[in-house]
Amino acid sequence: MILSLREFSLVLAGAIAYHLYLYVFTVRLFRVAEARGMVEERDTLCAQELETCKWKLDMCKIRSGRGLRGPISKNCLTASYIWDLSIHGSIKVIGGVRPVPRAPSVQMSTTANQVGQFVKDTMHFDGFRPRWTLALWRHYGEELKRGRSISVPAYPHSAEDMALAMRNTPPLVEGKGDVAVVGSISPWLESVVYHTANFATLVNIAYDGTNEPINEIPALETTHFVALKEEPRRFDVMISFSSLEHDGLGRYGDVLDPDGDLCAMHEIWMLLKEEGYFLLGIPTAQRDLAFFSNHRIYGPLRLKRMLRGFTMLGYVWDGVYAEARGNTMNGQDRRLFAPGENDWKHQPVLVLRRLKGYS
C-alpha cells in the first residue's frame, strides 16, 4: 500500500508524538524517583537529627549536675529523699546521723582496701582526679603476666570473676567490641579488659569532669558522662564494678539523688548499642537495704528496678558462671543473693544484655 504524502506526514507526526510522550513520561518517572529518594534521604536525616536531639535531651535530664552535693549526714536529708530512697517505705534506710566531714583530698579518703597497697602508695590525685601513670599500668600488666591476682583486697576474686564474665560475652571473644568501663578509681578493671578480652577501643567513663582520670596510658581513652551528652557514642560492651551502688548518695561528692543508681543504669542503656552487653558488679543480698551515705544493697526488689531495659543472661561469683533461670531473681539463689542484708563485699558480676526497643 502506497501512502499519500499527507497520510505519511500524519503517521510520522504520530510516531514522533508517541516517542516524545514516552521520553517525557520516562523523564518524569526518573524525576519522581529522584524526588522520592531525596525526600527519603531528608526524612532519614531528620529522623537521625531528632534522635540525636532526643538523646541529648534525655542525657541532660538524667545528669543535670544541679543540686546539693554530698557528703552530708542522714539527719540533714529531706523526708521526700528518704521516702524515695526507701522505695516508698518498702526497704530499710540506715546510716550515720553525725555530720560527715569532707576529706581534705580524695587521696586521703581512698583506702588500700579499695585499690591495693601498691596503688594506694603510688597513685596520686589532682583534686578529685586520679593520675593514671604508665608505671601503674605496667604494674597491673606484670602482675597478671606472673599469674598473680590484681583483685582489690575488699573483693578477693573480683578480677577473676570479671575475666570469666568477659569470656562469656560474645563481643569480647570475637574482638569486635568498643568497650567502656564506668566509675574506676584505679585502672585495675581496664587492665583486666586489656589482658583478657579482644576489643577495638577501650574507654574509661567518669561521673563528670571533676573526677575524670588524668590519663597517661596510651591504650586508654577517658571521658565523662557530662561530655557524652554532647556527642552520641555507642558501645558494644560496658563494664562497672562496685560503683553504681554509690550513685546519688553523695559519698564521693556527687549530687544527691535517691534514684541516682537507676539514672546511671538508664544512661548506660542509652550508651549501649542495640543488644549490647553490660557486665555489672554490685552488692546483692536477700533483703534490700540503703546504707546512707555509703552504699545500697540490692535485694529482689531494687535489683529488678535496676535491670529494667536489660535481660540477665547469667552471673559469676567466686569463679563460677551460672546461667540465669526463671526463678533466679526471687532471692532464693544463695550464690547470687547473700544471706542477710548488709554484706557489701558480696558483689557477683551480672552478665546483662540490652533489650531491643525498650525506652
Task: Dump pLDDT digits (tens) for 293-304.
Answer: 889 999 999 999
- What pLDDT is attached to residue 56? 46
Handedness of CA 189, 195, 197, 199 (dihedral sign): positive
* Buried-exposed string 169-205: b where 16+ CB fall within 10 A, e elsewhere: bebbeeeebbbbbbbbbbbbbbbbbbebbebeebbbb
Most confident region among 20-29, 54-63, 269-278 by mean pLDDT: 269-278
DSSP characters for 187-231? THHHHHHHHH---SEEEEEESSTTS--EE--TT-EEEEHHHHTSS
For residue 295, what are the β-bridge partners? 291
Q: How far is Cα 186 from Cα 213, in angstroms, rounded to an integer? A: 9
Question: Which pLDDT belongs to residue 208?
Answer: 79
Q: Which pLDDT belongs to residue 123?
A: 85
Quick one: pLDDT at residue 104? Answer: 47
C-alpha cell at 75: 539527719
Query: How open is the CA angle 152-176-57, to the nearest 5 degrees?
Result: 80
245 pLDDT more than 70: yes
The residues spanned by each domain of the chain are: 1-62, 66-354
Task: Give 203's strand partners.
Answer: 180, 221
Q: Which of 59, 19, 12, 107 is nearest to 267 (CA)?
A: 59
The set of residues, in sequence order, having a beta carbon less than 8 Å from that of 144 and lying 6+ positions away, is 150, 191, 192, 195
Per the model's pLDDT, the better-predicted residue between 293 and 137 turns out to be 137
Q: Give the per-residue pLDDT at 52.
A: 47
User: Helix, strand, or coil here: 155?
Assistant: coil
194 touches 219 (CB < 8 A): yes
Identify the weakest region by mean pLDDT among 46-60, 166-180, 237-251. 46-60
Instruction: Write the DSSP string, 109-146.
Output: H--HHHH-HHHHHH--EETTEEEE-HHHHHHHHHHHHT
Residues 57-72 have a mean pLDDT of 61
Checking if the pLDDT of 21 tops 90, the result is no
Q: What is the mean pLDDT of residues 140-148?
A: 93
pLDDT band with cut points at 50, 70 and 90 for residue 255 = confident
Closest CA to 252 of 303, 151, 204, 184: 184
Please tell me the distance from the alpha carbon of residue 129 to that of residue 253, in angstroms, as a whole number: 12
**pTM value?**
0.80
Q: How far apart are the C-alpha atoms of 95 and 13, rounded to whole Å?
A: 97
Rounded to whole angstroms, the Cα distance separating 253 from 241 reads 19
Say what the pLDDT of residue 55 is: 46
Distance CA 266, CA 278 (A): 12
The per-residue pLDDT for 297 is: 96
Find how far residue 149's CA is from the centre of its chain.
25
Q: Which grid cell is 206?
A: 567518669
Whether the predicted pLDDT of 284 surpasses 60:
yes
Per CATH, the number for 66-354 is 3.40.50.150
Identify the residue with better confidence: 316 or 46.
316
What pLDDT shows up at residue 358?
63
Query: Which H or E run contains 268?
Result: helix 260-271
For residues 138 and 295, the answer to whether their CB atoms sit within 8 Å is no
Q: Kindly report, residue by residue over 23-39, the tens digit of the pLDDT.
A: 766 767 666 666 566 55
Specify the higher pLDDT residue, 103 or 310: 310
* pLDDT value at residue 320: 96
CB 250 within 8 A of CB 264: no
Q: Is the pLDDT of residue 152 over 80?
A: yes
Residue of 223, 159, 146 whose CA lies nearest to 191: 159
Query: For 194-243, how does the pLDDT look when each residue is reduced to its tens digit (9 = 90+)?
Result: 999 999 999 999 987 888 999 999 999 999 988 887 777 899 999 999 99
How far apart, in whole angstroms, are the C-alpha atoms of residue 317 and residue 349? 7
78 or 320, higher pLDDT = 320
